[in-house]
Amino acid sequence: MTDQQTPGAPWPPASGLPSRDRMKPAESLRWGETPFDDLGRAELLRLVQAYHLALASADSALRQVCLQDPANPFWEADGQGRRAMARADTLKTLVDGDSAEARMHIDRQFYRAAAGLLFPSLADPFHDWGVNDKGEWCAPNPGPDWGYRPVEWQDLLPESGAPK
């Protein structure tokens, strides 16, 4: 793994997750290697973003299921469901802290848009910014030409994000 982006790879990447052929095959790994060792900076960034988004989604689903049947041994302190939620909490706290407000801010600023870019094959109406009359996923465009415009990776960059 290198700190440099993959030669010839665009920054920001034009698409979400790195393709499977960019990963090291599991059967070829040696001690200390990971499937991600050959990925460039941009690919690693998108992969980490996708993992965090998937973790937040899985954690939300786990909590909803727990509320439906909290007496199930799966949700006891040493149950697999409770341990899975504790692992998710540990990782989310590293990024979000303990504040629900911080979690909502991160979701509004990044994951609301990134869900469609990181997982384009998984249509998710709860994370769409908007849909135009052609059915295309779009971001708000509050400038003089108010309306919607196609969402791009650049919308997620701090320097050139969507107009405020």
Asked if residue 116 and residue 40 are part of one domain, the reply reads yes
- Is pTM beyond 0.95? Reply is no
Work out the pLDDT band at 144, boundaries 50, 70, 90. low
* Residue range 21-48, pLDDT digits in tens: 989 999 999 999 999 999 888 888 888 8
- CA torsion sign for 29, 32, 38, 40 is positive
- Average the pLDDT over 49-69 and give the result: 89
Asked if residue 47 and residue 114 are part of one domain, the reply reads yes
Of the candidates 142, 144, 143, 139, the one whose C-alpha atom is nearest the C-alpha of residue 154 is 139
Do 130 and 123 meet the contact criterion of CB atoms below 8 Å apart?
no
Range of the domain at 67: 13-18+30-121
Judge whether residue 8 has pLDDT over 70: no
Q: Spell out the residues 6+ positions from residue 11 whose beta carbon is closer than 8 angstroms to its own.
A: 5, 41, 42
Asked if residue 68 and residue 53 are part of one domain, the reply reads yes
Among 45-49, 52-56, 159-163, name the one with the lowest average pLDDT: 159-163
Judge whether residue 92 has pLDDT over 80: yes
Split into its structural domains, the chain has a count of 2
Work out the pLDDT band at 18, boundaries 50, 70, 90. confident
